[in-house]
């Protein structure tokens, strides 16, 4: 499972893409207290001296932590804006309509495209085109910032719907295994999909999940714990 989480967070797809035609998607062109010194020859009990300014130091530490959090969020917002600009240009080139929404969730920027009639072409079969487009967008951000991006791209709510679907799938499989005691293998999935299933199974006591096989046929197996 740890391997799948690493796969899902670092690179959900390594596909190369070409172009989206008006008839459909083949591919898309375009990741303290201070201790005083004690005389070693003295028989006196060492004295721990508390700094009078300890509370001030602690406050400053909290302030520094808050500033770090703000800096991280600001950076993720910047990632989202860069991605948004890139995707706007792509939509213009493809002559597709769509509204781009930017958000921050945890340690990654979230970018979504909604509202257009042709957006299904940017999702493709089983999200293959979307995965490729997400990787291209990550590379565009990396080219601008110099840092590898982990942003998540969604189009027409496909990932959100898929997350709900896979969560339900994992929970149902876990309940079946809990009742029967027999292991259950699910169909092959991407690292992103397997992580969602693992998370769903982990919420149910008495069962566990693992991954088996080699990409692209790697799949989740649910077993009784």
Predicted local distance difference test score (pLDDT) of residue 126: 84
Closest alpha carbon to 123 in 149, 98, 89, 86? 98
Predicted local distance difference test score (pLDDT) of residue 192: 84
| Spans of the chain, pLDDT less than 70 | 1-66
SS3 content of the chain, % helix, strand, coil (to 5): 50, 15, 35
Predicted local distance difference test score (pLDDT) of residue 64: 63
CA distances from 65 to 35, 59, 62, 69 (A): 25, 10, 5, 6
Predicted local distance difference test score (pLDDT) of residue 13: 37
Predicted local distance difference test score (pLDDT) of residue 139: 97
Residue 161's H or E segment, with its range, is helix 158-180
C-alpha to C-alpha distance for 102 and 99, rounded to whole angstroms: 10
pLDDT digits (tens, 9 = 90+) for 40-66: 333 444 444 444 454 445 555 566 666
Q: pTM, whole model, 2 decimals?
A: 0.66
Predicted local distance difference test score (pLDDT) of residue 70: 79
Closest alpha carbon to 224 in 171, 169, 172, 184? 184
């Amino acid at each position: 499972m740890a391997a799948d989480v690493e796969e899902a967070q670092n690179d959900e797809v390594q596909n190369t893409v070409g172009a989206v035609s008006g008839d459909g998607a083949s591919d898309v062109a375009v990741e303290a207290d201070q201790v005083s010194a004690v005389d070693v020859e003295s028989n006196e009990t060492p004295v721990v001296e508390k700094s009078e300014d300890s509370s001030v130091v602690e406050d400053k530490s909290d302030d520094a932590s808050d500033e770090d959090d703000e800096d991280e969020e600001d950076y993720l917002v910047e990632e989202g804006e860069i991605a948004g600009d890139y995707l706007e240009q792509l939509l213009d080139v493809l002559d597709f309509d769509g509204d781009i929404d930017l958000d921050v969730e945890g340690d990654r920027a979230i970018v979504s495209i909604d509202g257009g009639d042709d957006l299904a072409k940017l999702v493709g079969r089983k999200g293959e085109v979307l995965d490729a487009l997400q990787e291209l967008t990550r590379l565009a951000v990396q080219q601008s910032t110099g840092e590898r991006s982990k942003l998540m791209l969604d189009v027409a709510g496909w990932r959100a719907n898929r997350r709900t679907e896979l969560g339900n799938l994992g929970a149902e499989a876990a309940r079946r295994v809990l009742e029967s005691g027999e292991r259950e293998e699910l169909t092959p999935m991407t690292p992103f999909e397997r992580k969602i299933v693992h998370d769903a199974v982990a919420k149910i006591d008495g069962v566990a999940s693992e991954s088996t096989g080699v990409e692209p046929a790697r799949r989740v197996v649910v077993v009784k714990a």
